[in-house]
Structure 1
Amino acid sequence: MTVANSEAVLKALVEMSLRLGRPERELVILGEGNTSALCDDGTFWVKASGAQLPIIDADGFVHMKLDAVCALADRESLSDDEFKAALEAAKVDPSKSARPSTETVFHALALTEGGARFVGHTHPVAVNALACSVAVPEAIAGRLFPDEIVVCGPAPAYVPYTDPGFPLARAVRHALRGYMARWGRPPKVVFMQNHGLIALGSSPDEVDNITAMFVKTCRILAGTYVFGGPHFLSRAHVERIHTRPDEVYRRRQLRIS
């Protein structure tokens, strides 16, 4: 991969991150959330710890070695200090002072086992209103409307609350593998209890579309409880919408893989 290509990936990641960070969208505030993008040479860019998506620029990202980061998920345990040191050692340029996000490992897993090229992790108000509720498992047990399926897939992968960092990365990997076994393809959304969502896309536009549609889904879901609760589509309807040719075509038009 050329330096120019790496810079193009970073430029696209910065632009995507700024869109996700727009205050009126209520996806993140302050230093919440993180984003990443895959390069073609076995490296990836990930948001630096403490960088703010609403005002981020190229200096707010750290260039990382993909294999070295993914290998951390194979460790049975890591102390906080060991985890920090391992992430520092996986930087492409160790002389850079920026520290990679504590969620760097789950980004690497999303870019490999999750099949994504761009990843957006946010903490939307509408999503976390659901994620922090006692009803969350039953509330996300079904799909509500066709476009939710077209954009976000037949179901989200679900991760019960787990301590951020190394433990969460392993939990995300478990969820990705379970989803693959169930559906035969990676998820578009990873829904994390008491935390937020991860959108896995083939492009910045797809990450943005997935995030926006899942936020809409959570708002509609909240509204259904005012009128007695959600009426989920049947599994047959979900699978039909997910596979019918016109919806597959529409996904391509929407730049959804």
Structure 2
Amino acid sequence: MSDEILSQLITMSRHLGDPALDYVILGEGNTSARIDEATFWVKASGVELRTIEASGFVRVRFDRVLALLEAGDLSDEEVRQGLTAARVDPAATARPSVETVLHGLALQLDGVNFVGHTHPTVVNAILCSQKAEEAIAGRLFPDEIVYCSPAPAYVPYTDPGLPLARGVREVLRRYLEEYGERPKVILMQNHGLIALGHTPEEVESITAMCVKAARVLLGTYALGGPHFMSPQDVERIHTRPDEAYRRRKLGR
């Protein structure tokens, strides 16, 4: 089971790291996958997604990773030590990504088995702008809703690593209260996006649709700005039986 999941994760990661897609360059981005209730795979620091192999992932324990969320103020060195201690194999030399806590948190959400965090240029062109939150405040077309849920979870800029994981935890709590379900997309100001999927294919599809939506959004500003779908129309698409069927066929 663990080897099969790792193989799927490698394939997904290389796809997300394909230079032609412009999702990441160099060592940007990280990915993860749930193995079982106790452990998950996460990308090691300093490894490129486009060429990643099995040695580029570290198996870590949920309980030790998530314990860092409640550990109070920690120095960078203390976080590093905590992530090192979370490795299943104490003899492993690869260092878990600085975003490991964020991945552990995301993989605890209902139905999330795979996570892909990328920095697409076109998405960051929006997230690094003065009007980022305003620009992503609505949905533009039906398939954006089908693939990416009624709304993204938006996280103001936070220092990557443990502070970001804590910020995302609070945003997810509010999102679940407002929508009654988890998001499929987390957008992080001045940083990038996270796709939350039941399968590797869903993570890939969500990321691709986010990139398309970002291109469409940027194009709307040449003609006066976005005309968002109404909340009623968004809800209609999200709850249509035929669209629910499509979501099931897509993996979730």
Q: How does the TM-score come out when normalised to structure 2? A: 0.98
Counterpart of 2:240 in structure 1: which amino acid? R
Residues 99-120 of structure 1 deviation map (CA, whole Å, 9 limit, x = unaligned): 0000000000000036410000
Distance 2:246 2:112 in 1: 19
Identity of aligned residues (%): 62
Distance 2:164 2:214 in 1: 23
Q: Does 1:188 align with 2:184?
A: yes
Match of 1:158 in 2: 154
Match of 2:100 in 1: 104
Q: Does 1:208 align with 2:212?
A: no
Distance 1:114 1:72 in 2: 21
In structure 1, runs of 5+ residues without a counterpart are: none
1:46 and 1:104 in contact (8 A); partners too: yes
Distance 2:183 2:18 in 1: 25
| Post-superposition offset of 1:173 | 0.8
Match of 1:118 in 2: 114
Q: Alignment partner for residue 135 of structure 1, among 128, 131, 134?
A: 131
Distance 1:68 1:44 in 2: 12
In structure 2, runs of 5+ residues without a counterpart are: none
Q: Does 1:72 align with 2:49?
A: no
Distance 1:92 1:116 in 2: 21
Match of 1:250 in 2: 246
Match of 1:175 in 2: 171
Distance 1:68 1:9 in 2: 21
Counterpart of 1:53 in structure 2: which amino acid? L
- RMSD of aligned alpha carbons: 0.8
Counterpart of 2:182 in structure 1: which amino acid? P
Q: Secondary structure at the match of 1:73?
A: helix
Aligned residue pair count: 252
1:114 and 1:187 in contact (8 A); partners too: no
Match of 1:13 in 2: 9
Residues 19-63 of structure 1 deviation map (CA, whole Å, 9 limit, x = unaligned): 000000000000000000001241000000001001000000000
Distance 2:91 2:182 in 1: 35
Q: Alignment partner for residue 221 of structure 1, among 212, 217, 222?
A: 217
1:23 and 1:54 in contact (8 A); partners too: yes
Counterpart of 1:165 in structure 2: which amino acid? G
1:115 and 1:186 in contact (8 A); partners too: no
Match of 2:195 in 1: 199
Q: Alignment partner for residue 40 of structure 1, among 36, 40, 56?
A: 36
| Post-superposition offset of 1:67 | 1.5
Q: Alignment partner for residue 91 of structure 1, among 76, 87, 91?
A: 87
| Post-superposition offset of 1:252 | 1.2
Q: How does the TM-score come out when normalised to structure 1? A: 0.96
Q: Does 1:53 align with 2:49?
A: yes
Distance 1:54 1:136 in 2: 28
* Displaced runs of 4 or more, over 2 A: none
Single out whichever of 66-75 and 188-197 deviates more from structure 2: 66-75
Q: Secondary structure at the match of 1:174?
A: helix
| Post-superposition offset of 1:75 | 2.3
Q: Does 1:237 align with 2:241?
A: no
Counterpart of 2:12 in structure 1: which amino acid? M
Q: Secondary structure at the match of 2:70?
A: coil
